[in-house]
Amino acid sequence: MNFDKAVYFIWLTMACGVDNSHAFHVYSTFNSVEEVYKSHDFSSLRLPADVTANLCSKRIDDAYEVYKLCKSMGVGILCYDDELYPNRLRKIKSPPLVLYYKGELRELEKEVCVAMVGTRKATPYGLGIAEKLAEGMARHGATVVSGLADGIDAACHRGALKLNGYTVGVIGTGIDKIYPKCNATLYDALYKRGLVLSEYYPKCKTNKYSYPRRNRIISGLSNTVVVVEAGHRSGALITAKYAMELEKRFLFLTFQLFPKPRE
């Protein structure tokens, strides 16, 4: 049976485990994802035994079910070799082979993308500054990229939408899950006027490491990273770290850098 190439990409990520770098390592060794599926020899890649077993089993039914579920839910599938896959994202370490999305997918490579991130436990002042700054970005035609979390992220998305700007939310859960629930209205606005992205398919189980991993996507999509307000353990600092590794421009707006808690 011949499948859409997206099914093979989904199969590869599921076989290797969505939350690790094995899928990109395997894909980059072959000429195409279809060639990966046809192969039965992965001995030279030094993969974990369970990953090798999954690749050799060629069980593609689960991937096809995910593909059909996406189609039924109106979820788009963007694969690594698609024309609209941003080249900036291809340059990060372990880029996602598949991105699931809802909303308007633009040619992000041609957009001026500014990542705006910060703490969930933001101060009122930080929230106000985040929203106003995002308004300014939208006014000048920039795309605001953030994580659709509570706090600074939500304020940045709201600010961009207030000026009818285009904004991208990169989430660390399955594309079908709204988290936190208090952001349901904001999610709906991005579905209609922006874009929600995830490397996790509908009903995909995620864990505590899924949120830090999505920060590499936020940074990778963007030309510049702005940290509005963050604590010492904030995930926003992970985004800044990725930006530094990619030698991207970044800016800390430390209106209130929370003090380090006492031991």
Task: Name the stretches of the chain with pLDDT < 70.
Answer: 1, 230-263
Handedness of CA 238, 239, 240, 242 (dihedral sign): positive
pLDDT digit string (tens) for 116-144?
998 888 989 889 999 999 999 999 999 99
Coil, strand or helix at 182: helix
The fold for domain 108-252 equals Rossmann fold (3.40.50)
pLDDT digit string (tens) for 182-227?
999 999 999 999 999 999 999 999 988 888 888 899 989 998 888 8
Q: What is the pLDDT of residue 110?
A: 95
Q: What is the pLDDT of residue 7?
A: 97
Q: What is the pLDDT of residue 257?
A: 43
Spatial CA neighbour of 190 closest among 178, 200, 201, 199: 178
DSSP alpha helices (H): ranges in 91-226?
124-139, 152-162, 184-193, 210-221
Give the side-chain half-sphere CA count within 13 A for 157: 27
Give domain limits for the chain.
Answer: 5-103, 108-252
Q: What is the pLDDT of residue 247?
A: 55
Q: What is the pLDDT of residue 256?
A: 45
